[in-house]
Amino acid sequence: MTTDTASPPAPLVRPAPPRARRRIGRNSRIAFLFVAPYLLFFVVFRVVPALAAIGLSFGDYNIAGKFSFAGIENYQRLFADPLFWNSLGVTALYTAVAVPLNVVFSLFMAQLSNRSIRGMRVYRTFYFLPVVTSLVAAGTVWTWILSAHGPANWFVGLFGVPPIPWLTSGSTVVPSLGLVGVWSGFGYFMLIILAGLLAIPQEYGEAAMVDGANAWQRYWHITLPSLRPTLLVVVILSFIQSFQVFDLIYVMTGGGPVHASYSLVFFLYDQGFHYFDFGYASAAGVILFLITFGVSAIQRRIFGDQRGEA
């Protein structure tokens, strides 16, 4: 005797009545009207300039408005320019300092903020203040703090340490800028991680406690794996922010000393608005985009997508 293993036929899905289809179409048009201003803004101020920059990178465009096609000449100049490679190395060093510190410190502060104690909202607001503080104002204050006779050297002097050339030495300027960058941006990443912590169901931790897991085991095996998509977002955003650093460098060091803090965006700015070599600057911008896009894609591949898949 044979057994019929064929699956039962799928139930028929009735099409929506004409009135429902008209309602869905009308709601879609209304939704598009609300989204249209942002789409227009995005296309005009993001997509069009990006496409224009790609076009400019293959030509010579001077301040008089004359454009002449140059092929890949700008890219050949770029890869043969020691200053470009120096700026790329400075940017990579800054990113290597800022991204791990951003992730670790933001995770630590988010964990501290994830407590039900009196006045926690005030503490969270206080932690977020550097994010909404003008980078120009913050950079000016930090330049004074890290100066030769500033509070930072006064503090280390209490322990018998001689004054440290925070911003005037090639070996300390990039780490110093990285610390200031972490201070100015950790509040934003802290809120992202805090939202991820609040989204973890409490039942997971309660079940682990019943099984005898201690606090560290619960954090390592439940909290961190649940935060994987959130940490991926933080790593990518922190990398993009660090690779595009400009404001702090412009205010605090001006790219010095001797190009020791001359970042890639500063190189782009200098070539475009100082030497008015817009095609060359556009080529540097295209390389910057390719690097950030490529590394972000690699990070997503390594850490998995938002569903936690590898």
**Domain CATH code at residue 110:** 1.10.3720.10
Is the pLDDT at 289 greater than 50, yes or no? yes
61 DSSP β-pair partners: 67
Q: Mean pLDDT over residues 234-259, rounded?
A: 93
Domain identity same for 291 and 187: yes
Domain identity same for 183 and 42: no
Is the pLDDT at 15 greater than 80, yes or no? no
* pTM for this predicted structure: 0.84
- Residue 64 covered by a domain: no
What does the pLDDT look like over 208-239, one tens digit per residue?
A: 888 787 878 888 888 888 899 899 999 999 99
Domain identity same for 30 and 133: no
Is the pLDDT at 11 greater than 70, yes or no? no
- Residue 14 covered by a domain: no
- Residue 63 covered by a domain: no
Identify the band that residue 30 occupies on the pLDDT scale cut at 50, 70 and 90: confident
pLDDT at 275: 87
pLDDT at 269: 94
Tokens 């988010």 -> residue = 110
Domain identity same for 127 and 170: yes
Tokens 């503090």 -> residue = 155
Q: Which domain holds residue 49?
A: 19-56
Domain identity same for 207 and 252: yes
Domain identity same for 153 and 30: no
Domain identity same for 51 and 102: no
Tally the domains of the chain.
2
- Residue 13 covered by a domain: no
Closest CA to 178 of 230, 287, 85, 104: 104
Domain identity same for 130 and 215: yes
Pairwise CA distance, residues 118 & 127, whole Å:
16
Is the pLDDT at 79 greater than 90, yes or no? yes
Domain identity same for 116 and 39: no
- Residue 102 covered by a domain: yes
- Residue 29 covered by a domain: yes
Domain identity same for 36 and 139: no
- Residue 299 covered by a domain: yes
The backbone region for 17, taken as left when phi is positive above 0, alpha when psi lies in -120 to 50, beta otherwise, is: beta
- Residue 201 covered by a domain: yes
Own/partner pairs, 134-139, CB within 8 angstroms, 24+ separation: 135/184, 135/247, 135/248, 135/251, 136/247, 136/251, 138/180, 138/184, 138/248, 139/180, 139/247, 139/248, 139/250, 139/251, 139/252
Domain identity same for 100 and 227: yes
Domain identity same for 271 and 158: yes
